[in-house]
Structure 1
Amino acid sequence: MDAVSGVTSTTQPASNSSNSATAIASDFETFLTMLTTQLENQDPLDPVDSQDLAVQLATFSGVEQQTRTNALLEDLGGQMGLANLSQLASWVGMDALAVGPMYFDGAPIEIRPEIPSFADSAELVVFRSDGTEVQRLPLDTSAESMLWAGVGADGAPLPSGSYSLSVESTVDGESLPDGRVSAYREIVEVRASGGGTQLVTGGGIELDAASVISLRQPV
């Protein structure tokens, strides 16, 4: 695990630090033994150059210091990771507004589509997790938020699962760049993963904590 990633278990940093310290002590004793043996058995007519000894000592000192620094960074990284998880633990049970896939289980979802203020028409486009388009709905270009009911053209709810939404809008008949859609979803778990903190939402869908736009109590 990366020493500066800030993601580690509660016991790993201490173990790594202990192992590093033990290795340093063992290597240093071995180095001193070899150096002493070298000096005792050197040729009096061709003694070891003092500059070479200084270079060896400086090199070992540098490696020793780097190892100690890495161990310290692992300890600090672990503490920071745990502190971050502890701070975000209060988010569990709250609704987070974020852009990204969302899990539909039959209940309407509050969404906030990004529609350019100068657009004269807009549509909400719904995709399944495999990228297949399953629905298009007209949008009020002045609306800031709406409820997506997840109901198909036949009046039946769409199957439960992960869906992604986007906005397609036009002005004077010309297409504009697709707009993003943020949605509220309940946070069920906070997890350290991949060098960052992930929020687990319904259906096991993960969000980067940094992507959250706002939080609120469930409505």
Structure 2
Amino acid sequence: MDIQPTSGSAGQTGGFAAGGAPSSGGGLINSDFETFLMMLTAQMKHQDPLNPVDSTQFATQLATFSSVEQQVRTNELLTALGAQMGALSVSQLSGWVGMIARAEMPVHFDGQPVTISTRAADLADRAELVVRDESGTEIQRLPIDPGRQELDWAGVSDSGAPLPAGIYELSVDSYAVDELIASDGVFVHARIVEARNENGRPILVMESGQEVAAGDIVGLRQAQ
């Protein structure tokens, strides 16, 4: 390795500058550190004896590289810890599989009535249950009690014909003196069939195929 002698003022190091410390992680950090020490040694050997580099600059370069090395290792440990915590969450949630979860989510209608929990705004004097299909098109409005309640949505049209099977978005529009003051989703009960980790977030899969974040589950009960 041909390294040219260093000359110039004390502000020039001629070697591995502090700003050039490698940031690659994994197994490369050890080889990079050895290369850094070789270059630092060569720099000290070939510096101008009449204008030597200040020893504090060598210490600064070494400290800077050491700091980068420690940061890389810290990031690797944090990544591993995050993956471990995610796996732990999924392991804990595995006990939820088979249970009935309560969460704000769309309704899966298969021809049978669906139990939902509704709530209107506190100041509402009337409320309507709004039904939309998968495309977001409103297909039905039903008057309901504005108080908090649990009811069965039959899934039939205004003419009494059953609606096609599929996913429906239900919400409650709250009115006060005929003015719309709020629109809230409804809570639905569904059976959990799977718990998995997705991008570090525990996800629960319902029997209908819908996916709900574990943090969005507001209630659990044993399946009948």
- Counterpart AA for 1:64: E
Cα distance, 1:99 vs structure 2: 1.0
The root-mean-square deviation of aligned C-alpha atoms, in Å, is 2.0
- Structure 2 match to 1:128: 133
Matched, 1:165 2:170: yes
Unmatched 5+ stretches in structure 1: 1-18
- Structure 2 match to 1:23: 28
User: Which TM-score applies when normalising by structure 1?
Assistant: 0.83
3-state SS in 1 of match to 2:193:
strand
Cα distance, 1:34 vs structure 2: 1.1
Once the two structures are superposed, residues 22-58 of structure 1 have per-residue CA deviations (whole angstroms, 9 ceiling, x without a partner) of: 2221111111111112222222222222121011011
Q: How high is the sequence identity, in percent, across the aligned residues? A: 50
Quote the Cα distance in structure 2 between the aligned partners of 1:124 and 1:201. Answer: 23
Misfit runs of 4+, over 4 Å: none
Quote the Cα distance in structure 1 between the aligned partners of 2:144 and 2:54. Answer: 83
Matched, 1:77 2:82: yes
Pick one of 29, 47, 50 that aligns with 1:45.
Answer: 50
Pick one of 202, 208, 213 that aligns with 2:213.
Answer: 208
- Counterpart AA for 1:81: G
Matched, 1:93 2:98: yes
Report if aligned partners of 1:102, 1:205 keep a CA contact under 8 Å in 2. Answer: no
3-state SS in 2 of match to 1:43:
coil
Quote the Cα distance in structure 2 between the aligned partners of 1:83 and 1:131. Answer: 37
Structure with the bigger RCO (C-alpha within 8 Å, sep 6+) is 1
Number of aligned residue pairs: give it.
Answer: 201
- Counterpart AA for 1:52: Q
Report if aligned partners of 2:119, 2:147 keep a CA contact under 8 Å in 1. Answer: no
- Counterpart AA for 1:145: E
